[in-house]
Homo-oligomer: A and B are copies of this chain.
């Protein structure tokens, strides 16, 4: 546990290497948070729910910081407004790194004396931190994309060194379904929203063997997909028109060439890579245009659980962060981009929230959002499960979000 704790915590700091204090401070939209805030918030989580609550004698690093770095836990009291996180030029990035060390020292010292239920809180904290590692990267990407200079976050090599590849024709993989079980049922860690494991009935269906690509999306654009009302959900059509949407987020056309913004700045669009940064509305409209539909989360999970080892393009300590597509010839259900499902995010039968502030982790968000599966190139490797349920509002697209088609058979 100590080793895993240290490794996970270290990755967060590694991700901001090379960022300036300013880069780590600014909030580019209400949905996003500053890197500095992420680094502090995930530390606050350990400080509050482990050290403060369960380690006698622990002294808070700073008595006003909990007000600043609580995210949404009403049971923890008042807090700094979410859309004002970018106004906190103090404390500095350096001070927050010091806060992290303070908490790490205390937690590692206390680790051996903590009970199993407190170890479970540490485990929750580490999974929580991994979620924020992904958010830190996607929020940073959004921030840099707002700068007309198109800066690069770091000096790593270009995202997909091998260059654009060929895309094999899409194949449909059949699943008979029937009465099956989904949801987390094992003994390892899982978030509360992944259970209980329960039976469901699936009618036969087929899933695409890979994600939709940039090239296929370009065909959708060129066929007038964004201007054809009949392809869209009513809410989606209102959104497209109100926001003047005509391509995925971070795409632009310079002369006749499409580019997309990456953490390494503007790059030519790789037509063979999975499309990223599309909303649920766009994914749904694309599926209609393609004569298909989005899979339900249960269809996705059942197919995934049958034959997939959680591989695929995910976040590794040293790597670039871009959905390059599967070059191996063995495409995975996981990685590259989160895949929108057609399932509204609602509780599983028998779901109960935990008591106390930790119970606010997932349950209270179960309205208005849609489930995504499979993780992305920005999800830390080791973080995912077949039963993992990510969720976002249908208009949101600053995450690495794409899709895989399904159809009835």
CB distance from A352 to the nearest CB of B (A): 9
Comparing A195-203, A212-220, A269-277, A326-334, the segment that makes contact with chain B is A195-203
Q: Does A52 belong to the interface (CB within 8 Å)? A: no
Q: Does A346 belong to the interface (CB within 8 Å)? A: yes
Instruction: Provide 16 A-B residue pairs closer than 8 Å at the C-beta atoms, listed in order of the A residue.
Output: A20-B90, A20-B92, A21-B21, A26-B86, A26-B89, A67-B148, A80-B148, A90-B149, A91-B149, A179-B179, A230-B359, A234-B364, A236-B367, A343-B346, A367-B394, A368-B394
B201 contacts A87, CB within 8 Å? no
> Which bucket holds chain A's interface residue count?
35 or more
Q: Does A349 belong to the interface (CB within 8 Å)? A: yes
Tell me the bound Cα distance from A236 to B179 in angstroms.
34
Residues on A close to B: CB < 8 A?
Answer: 20-26, 28, 64, 67-68, 72, 74-75, 80, 84, 86-93, 143-144, 146-149, 151, 179, 198-201, 203, 229-230, 232-237, 280-281, 284, 342-344, 346-347, 349-350, 359-360, 364-368, 394, 408
Q: Which residues of B contact A230 (CB under 8 A)?
A: 74-75, 359-360
Tell me the bound Cα distance from A146 to B27 in angstroms.
14
Task: Report copies per complex.
Answer: 4
Which of the residues B25, B68, B343, B349 comes within 8 Å of A22, measured between beta carbons? B25
Tell me the bound Cα distance from A280 to B366 in angstroms.
12
Q: Which residues of B contact A365 (CB under 8 A)?
A: 233-235
Q: Which residues of B contact A25 (CB under 8 A)?
A: 22, 25-26, 89
